[in-house]
Structure 1
């Protein structure tokens, strides 16, 4: 290492450095002398040379001699106040170090502005020789006795460990047991500046009036032992003399903005005589406040826990008297998924204690090289210059605690840092001290980042959606160190947990149904942005927060207009679509990020390495093998070709909802039916009689719904009749649209004219080849009809391929799965057919063909009669195929032993059947029982009124055959049945 030769610079240069990291000048090396080493050592060890004041680990410049102003360098060196410094306990944090002329003209300088009011306090001057700074003097007030109430303020003891001690400066980090401070964890702890989120059990709002209606309401001066819990704050009435001020409303206290004198109590306590319900008195007006709100800390934007006692209402969001022992649970994902709520997070607890950007995330905004890294064992610089290109950088927060923006937003600290800027928590002093979030730039030297912030300001003004964070304001603030103006976005505070943190809390993955529900909640927000011509560009779990039972999309810094081809593109590696570099962002690229994020929520995989542009296969991820529809959905959402992805967020949500229904039904076996917007219901039942008929199945399967946006949709809605008549009418349609052509294909197929139907589809293909923009060029519906034609014609493999392809496009639909199952069964692939039939039937019992198909497949695979009968029993009583399902179950059981035959008889008896059908089934069961060896029929039970003996069964069978003979339609059938009756009758002696 060598030293920088620039005058006054103490930076060190590595061999590869082209620029000094400290001063940014081109590298000119000089020997590192002893004085430079000493300066660096003092900076590292926290000891300051003469002329500075050490405060903790940072040095303040000493006050300049009287009559002299500090140098520019001195005025810029003020670090953040270190609360842990010796003697600095519970001190207000200085906002800045500035040179100010004394009001009396003495010329003294170096005053530290008061942290709360911003007033220059002349007594707060550090001695030039100090090595351990002490806190500035604090104003105190003696205990105040109240004549108009029953409580008094406790003694202000700064460092007392006594219960109930009240620090004079209302420090949030009070160490006193039971201290009355805003962040105290003590049960029932309270202070006048405590927010509604203090976390104290039974904590009461400081602005609660004595007439809140709660016995022992906790006013700021209320006795700690008053016993009040969960009292409701009243509404405020600024006019105590009006008719509305009595009984249940009380006047809020007023605050003195003049902090020039000691903090003494002024005014009188409102008279509580004659006002029912109140037992605690209001405090009098006193000083030590900033803009009428700092000491009260009544945040209407914060959360207050309220009970049933009291009257009035709170101006903030509240939880009203619930005594449920279990945590409330909300439903997301189209109301299908019960999701545990995430507790609202106290904003003050979310503030970072030591806000800094990790070294691993520090990169030069100009050349992309690493900056601010550890060198020779010394921590990297938070602010400096890139050693490769000389570009300046700064990763330090620009706003300090207590700083006021726009005369309205008081900064409380940093919440987080992201790709485009620091995020700060602030209080909106103009709107009931509600919590807000300020977002600024991470690196003010980054021109692209500045442009992105300006763009975000422009776009967000147009955004209004319940799932997108609300924007309150846009303000400009001058950087206290550099004097440069910086724009800030003022957003609502969303107190919750990011989905990324929820994933990490569960060891890297969420339950699949919960992950899908989160994606379904976000897709409408993206669809809204797309609808107003905006692209989100950087969706990921980090940018979604769950607060209680609601999701919010945050960090809109990468938002851009869909037609913008010049602005910088922001995204995250592992989520960003592969075509971004060539084609730029689009709706398809936004939906790609949703697919990637959903995959990452469901299971862990190397999404930034091995699978940067791909997804794991089913062998690598068992979840994808378990839920094939989810696998198909993710493959389409993350298809490398953007033209093959979902066309819109609405279409994506529709299919994902279907996938969710399947996943949930697979988990608990309960059906979750849904109305398809892509297919009609099954046109007719098929496969109910036992064997599968391919032609019957082709005519019974669902067909695509008519596109209501088609010009001929009205004509098609009124065109009914025989298929040949439908074809004749549509041939003369005034406009031959895609829907007209598809309806002609369907009518030809119903007329058993597959060759002509296929010719119509070929004509559609030729139109698509001639005009790639033709409606049929990327439409799956012609392939559906081709599949039906192939199935009816016996080309099962071709039909299966077509239906599988449509299943890839529509992974949440049942119709393609049912059609593929029919093809698998026709091809003899009974196990594959059983799985497809099971998925369809388990999810929606409206597809009764799936129940019959599953029963057939179970019998063909494993001769599983019990399983087949169980499936047939799930056909609901309300279905018109209920009786057919029970009859099929009778047929299945008739193939078993005597126990199965007896069970079949008990199923048959209550069925409402005509005489002929009942006689047929009775004959079938009696014949099956008679076929069982006599030694296996030794049971006392009766079958359909017949003894289970050779004689009893033969007599019953004879009666059934003779009844069928009387009902026969032809003489030939009658003769055959009489012969059967004679053959089976038992032998008797005449």
Structure 2
């Protein structure tokens, strides 16, 4: 969402070019980098991506290093060579019948051979895509094992070119998730020996994989690929065979297919089951997005395997749905796909934490990514002490409670706000103006000397807050026009169309828009909160509760989700459930006091026509003195209103039952006369704070509640 261009196209909202994958807007410079957290295993510590340990074991060596006939091709003309004819077995050495180029698929090294006067071959380790892999020992460091890699067919021109490219790339790499090159000797690459198992080996053995393993593998793989992309290289051949779980980490191995970003020459590389379509490669070449596609296909295979072994699917089903959406976008058509490995990793991070939160029922928060933290609360009264209208607008209050569900237009103005795209030219300006009043913001936006997508979307939000839906729609359309054909795939446009639909009170359209946002950014909480709200408005309480619960378990600062859970409990006449939900909000939350007020109100409310029990009233009386009200005053007017409600409900319960099996209320015994005295006194205090008209009504109410023995 920017006017910045690269490779003939607008730079993506992520700040990266869609074609070459390079960042065009620099990240903010930080002068202090935090120390990395210590790694732990099984998700129990500070590093949520630490894998459980895989025993190294002894390497499995090949006893008969035969070369698959189906993979024998001429290194010059790429025609099949050495294939079996009738009863004649396949040939592993010979000459291409098409062009006469010699071929040989026999290992060049035997056990005991020494390369470079230093590396002694132990045996044949594996057959790579371009060369034999030999396990060897370092004669200078006998305890150190290494891997030697050479070209299978020395007459394979393409293979030798790719091998040199792999050597040249590896010599410059230094990343914990990429196999490390040690040196290059006599046409052989010398690499670290990675003791472990490839993901394909684990799949072949039908080893159970946790869903958390899959998301962690994805995180490590994307970290490695983003590192390569930042250096100007594409990996091109990601698949389970080329990722190895070693110890407590994952390493990407076999960089033989690596090529430079923008290099459209050379033979087709990569496994056909994992790479992007031939049509896409013909149109765009191999790109960062085609690398993303291979990661998506790899995670698709791993997720299917892990899902089959999942023993508690009901608990984690929502996260599996989020992961499925992430994979769907990763393998979607070119324009819809994640533009960079970093963008995909960002969303995978959210999905991974969602999975852990659902599994453990505890939060795994992360810094805001695509949405700014909002201080707005999706509540219109449940967390507030009732006003004087409770006593002045009707003869006798019935004790019922409004659940505080906002209207759709109110919610449109209170839902989270997207972070401005880093690449937008007015990003810094918008970041400094978010707290101003809507009308003032619109005036400043009109006076700003530049146009941008983010500026129009910010203006649309201001118009929505002011109830000016026609103007908001025009701004969203103008932003979409600036994005041209990319608008269809931009989640920010969908988000703002959802907000506009809410402002117009067309909840089904808003729900459809927010679900599209969820498809595009499945790791974000905001679309799930918005979907939960829409479902609640439509009366689909079970699904609304499911969305609110996911948001809350992932981040216990999301008070709007918690109030949603309380409202749903109230609609289900579950007083205890509503109070329990409100009590989950941490004391440090800015909405803690509102949640505690709401809990007292729920305890005192008539729900489904039923008065609260004596135990509920006792609980409310116990909580009331601890509420922070009136700026900390002991007898402020707000506290008096809530206290008056307490006396009123207690008196109604006493009138209904004729006895009070509970304890004292606010330190005094409960009697009919005592309650009437206290309620009368409280109403007269409220009358002193009211205007003349309402004061008379409150005095009348006080006279009505006086002891019956008085004259």
Q: Do these two structures clear the TM 0.5 threshold for a shared fold by scoring above it?
A: yes
Q: Which residue of 1 aligns with 2:47?
A: 335
Deviation at 1:687, TM superposition (A): 0.5
Post-superposition offset of 1:354: 0.7
Judged with a 3 Å threshold, the aligned counterparts in structure 2 of structure 1 residues 653 and 811 are, in CA distance, closer, same or farther, namely: same
- The offset of 1:857, in angstroms, is 1.9
1:272-292 Cα deviation digits (max 9, x unpaired): xxxxxxxxxxxxxxxxxxxxx
Closer/same/farther in 2, CA of residues 910 and 606 from structure 1, 3 Å limit: closer
Structure 1 segment 871-890 matched on structure 2, within 5 A: 871-890=581-600
Give runs of aligned pairs for residues 294-373 of structure 1, distance below 5 A: 329=41, 335-345=47-57, 349-352=58-61, 354-357=63-66, 366-367=78-79, 371=83
Where does residue 906 of structure 1 map in the other structure?
Answer: 622
Q: Deviations over 1:11-46 (max 9, x none)?
A: xxxxxxxxxxxxxxxxxxxxxxxxxxxxxxxxxxxx
Higher relative CO (CA 8 A, sep ≥ 6), structure 1 or 2? 2
CA distance in 1 between partners of 2:91 and 2:306 (Å):
33
- 1:958 equivalent in structure 2: 680
- In structure 2, which of residues 412, 415, 421 is the aligned counterpart of residue 707 of structure 1? 421
CA contact (8 A) 2:615 2:662 kept: no
Hey, what does 1:978 align to over in structure 2? 699
Q: Deviation digits for residues 873-898 of structure 1, max 9, x if unmatched?
A: 01111112111101111222223333
**1:850/1:433 CA distance change after superposition, 3 Å:** closer
Question: Aligned match of 1:585 in 283, 286, 305?
Answer: 286
Distance 1:331 1:493, change over 3 A: farther
Q: Are positions 1:807 and 2:508 aligned together?
A: no
Say whether residues 1:943 and 2:653 are aligned partners.
no
Moved more, 887-896 or 844-853: 887-896
CA deviation profile, 1:539-588 (whole Å, cap 9, x unmatched): 12222223322322111112122222231222224322334564443211
Corresponding position of 1:541: 240
2:131 is equivalent to residue 409 of structure 1: no
The number of equivalent residue pairs is 628
Q: Is the 8 A contact 1:372 1:383 kept in 2?
A: no
Closer/same/farther in 2, CA of residues 871 and 431 from structure 1, 3 Å limit: same
Report the CA distance shift for 1:530/1:353 in structure 2 as closer, same or farther (over 3 A).
closer
- Take 1:941 and 1:605, find their aligned partners in 2: how far apart are those partners? 55
Cα pair 1:688 1:884 within 8 Å, conserved: no
Query: What is residue 10 of structure 2 aligned with on the other side?
Result: none
1:285 maps to which residue? none
1:649 to 303, 319, 341: 341
Counterpart position of 2:455: 740
Distance 2:454 2:40 in 1: 48
Query: CA offsets, 1:507-545, max 9 Å, x none?
Result: 354111122112111212101111222211111222222
TM-aligned CA deviation for residue 930 of structure 1: 3.5
1:530/1:587 contact within 8 Å kept: yes
For the 8 Å contact 2:549–2:565, the answer to whether it is kept is yes
Q: Who is 1:491 aligned against? A: 191
- Other-structure match for 1:627: 320
**Cα distance, 1:437–1:628 mapped onto 2, change above 3 Å:** same
Task: Indicate the residue corresponding to 1:787 in structure 2.
Answer: 498
Structure 2 residue matching 1:441: 3-state secondary structure: coil
Partner of 1:456: 166
What is the SS of the residue equivalent to 2:335? Answer: helix
Q: Aligned-pair RMSD on alpha carbons?
A: 3.4
Cα distance change of structure 1 residues 938 and 522 upon mapping to structure 2, 3 Å threshold: same
Q: Rate the CA distance shift 1:401–1:949 in 2: closer, same or farther, 3 A.
A: same
Indicate which of 286, 293, 300 corresponds to 1:599: 300
Separation (CA, whole Å) in 2 of partners of 1:697 and 1:953 = 40
Residue 846 (structure 1) aligned with residue 554 (structure 2): no
Deviations 1:138-175 (A, max 9, x none): xxxxxxxxxxxxxxxxxxxxxxxxxxxxxxxxxxxxxx
Question: How far apart are residue 329 of structure 1 and its match?
Answer: 3.5
Partner of 1:311 in structure 2? none
Instruction: Determine the C-alpha separation between the residues in 2 that align with 1:439 and 1:669.
Output: 47
Q: Which residue of 2 aligns with 1:680?
A: 372
Q: Deviations over 1:416-448 (max 9, x none)?
A: 123322210123335677422111233445554
Partner SS state of residue 305, structure 2 = coil
**2:438 matches 1:723:** yes
Q: Secondary structure at the match of 2:134?
A: strand
Give CA-to-partner distance per residue, 1:710-768, whole Å, 9 cap, x none: 33334444557443333233323222222333333333334443322222222233344
1:973 deviates by 1.7
Selected match of 2:138 from 428, 434, 442: 428
Distance in 2 (alpha carbons) for counterparts of 1:535 and 1:887? 56
Matched-pair contact (CA < 8 Å) for 1:402–1:410: yes
Structure with the higher helix share, 1 or 2: 2
- In structure 2, do the counterparts of structure 1 residues 592 and 711 end up closer, same or farther at CA, with 3 Å as the change threshold? same
Q: Describe the superposition over 1:57-96 as per-residue Cα deviations: whole angstroms up to 9, x where unpaired.
A: xxxxxxxxxxxxxxxxxxxxxxxxxxxxxxxxxxxxxxxx
Secondary structure in 2 matching 1:474: strand
Secondary structure of 1:415's aligned partner: strand
Q: Determine if the alignment matches structure 1 residue 831 to structure 2 residue 542.
A: yes
**Alignment of 1:563 onto 2:279:** no
**Hey, what's the Cα distance between the residues in 1 that align with 2:45 and 2:192?**
24
Q: Which deviates more from structure 2 when the two are superposed, residues 493-502 or residues 930-939? A: 930-939
Measure, in 1, the Cα distance between the counterparts of 2:238 and 2:45: 18
By how many angstroms is 1:634 displaced?
1.7
1:664 — aligned with what?
356
| TM-score of the aligned structures, taking structure 2 as reference length | 0.80
C-alpha distance in 1 between matches for 2:82 and 2:664? 88
Tell me how far apart the structure 1 counterparts of residues 178 and 110 of structure 2 sit (CA, whole Å): 28
| Residue 796 (str. 1) matches residue 507 (str. 2) | yes
CA contact (8 A) 1:890 1:904 kept: yes
